[in-house]
Structure 1
């Protein structure tokens, strides 16, 4: 019998791997609903859905390896990153999902609330938080909605050689800012942005991508801390925020 591997587990959800099957356990059925709907219409490779019995969703493993992990250099080739960029462009050019995404006012309110929490709890120097809040402002502008993945972490894109074999974890997919997806995939891997954009093509605003690096790191930090993760690990969110001080 295959061993059970705990891929990720926290108070909101858990993902287990048994052989070539991933079991996603989530107390909120809307997350699985969104994931199933998004994978059904996404124009790029996604995992096969094997069965669903709430609160469990079973999906097949995709071949290949993740582009990398946060906090470590990516071993994937430049061509693999370019292939990921081309796949993301295909997604962003697809018809919008028929459900709403987050609005600009929601993003701005969350940013302000999380910055206030970070300052009140002293988890980072105030100058670092204020500097990144200034940089994040560039992301707070109207955007033309695109079909975005919404949580395009580097561990969610799988490649085999120079080919994208699958993109996983679609529960946050919705209409949104295309630059957000590009920023999340390259968070902590800024040196691979040029490779990614080689495949993605024109129409990219690098200032907005940099703004999303800061914004994402600011708003994610409290959740990570409260759910047992460490945003202060080497190469992770706090390092991303500190690195912006070098731009002064």
Structure 2
């Protein structure tokens, strides 16, 4: 009998792997609907939907392996990372989807959320004040006007599968929609700055690296407290707090 692997689990949703099937359990059917719709529209390989029985979505496993995980060693050749960049570019060049995505927030709203969270991090002594202040300054570069693109919205490296130097599929589409393309590139390279140049080569366009680094700071500041409260460890090596420290 196949073992049950817990891929991710927290109070909002859980993903299990049983043999060659991924089972996603999500009480928010709107989020599941968005995931299925986004996969049908995305011009990149995505998992086959096997069946849906709310609150469970069953997806076929993808061939190959992921490029790694945040906090773990980076895997894959420079060509594999470049191929991922090319796949991301193909997504960003696709016609805009009907839904707003995670990265589709107004600059004013995002800045207000960031300032509130920075205040909580310092007041509750989650992070040192100088670390928060410096990264808030770096994050400012991400708060600018941008052209909407078809974005994945949660493009962590564990969501991209490769076989050799070929991308075989991308999973985790529940946050997809219109958004800032550089947010995707930042999420994908978070904690793996050594592969940023490879990804940009594959992406094949002029990319503002300062904005990507700003998104690293911005996103890490926003999620540190949430991660700690949901059983994850943002203080682990190469994870979010290390990303913040690297900006000092």
Determine if the alignment matches structure 1 residue 51 to structure 2 residue 51: yes
Once residues 217 and 69 of structure 2 are traced to their aligned partners in structure 1, the CA distance between those partners, rounded to angstroms, is 18
| CA distance, structure 1, for counterparts of residue 168 and residue 183 of structure 2 | 22
Q: In structure 1, how many angstroms separate the alpha carbons of the residues matched to 2:75 and 2:23?
A: 27
Kindly report structure 1 stretches of 4+ aligned residues shifted beyond 6 Å.
none
Q: What's the offset of the Cα at 1:110?
A: 2.1
Given the alignment of the two structures, is residue 191 of structure 1 paired with residue 194 of structure 2, yes or no?
Answer: yes
**Does the alignment pair 1:221 with 2:224?**
yes
Partner in structure 1 of residue 164 of structure 2: 161
State the Cα distance separating 1:10 from its structure 2 match. 1.1
Query: Gaps spanning 5+ residues in structure 2: where?
Result: none
Q: Can you list the C-alpha shifts for 1:188-215, whole angstroms capped at 9, x where unaligned?
A: 0001000111110112111100100100
RMSD across aligned positions (CA): 0.9
State the match for 1:68 in structure 2. 68
* Correspondence 1:77-226 to 2 at 5 A: 77-101=77-101, 102-104=104-106, 105-226=108-229
C-alpha separation in 2, matches of 1:7 and 1:103: 28
1:36-60 deviations in whole A, cap 9, x for unaligned?
0100000000000001111000001
Q: TM-score w.r.t. structure 2 length?
A: 0.97
Measure how far apart 1:113 and its partner are. Answer: 2.0
Displacement after TM superposition at 1:72 (Å): 2.3
How many residues are matched? 245
Aligned to 1:7: 7
Distance, in Å, in 2 between the alignment partners of 1:60 and 1:109 is: 40
Residue pair 2:126, 2:225 contacting (<8 A) in 1 also: no
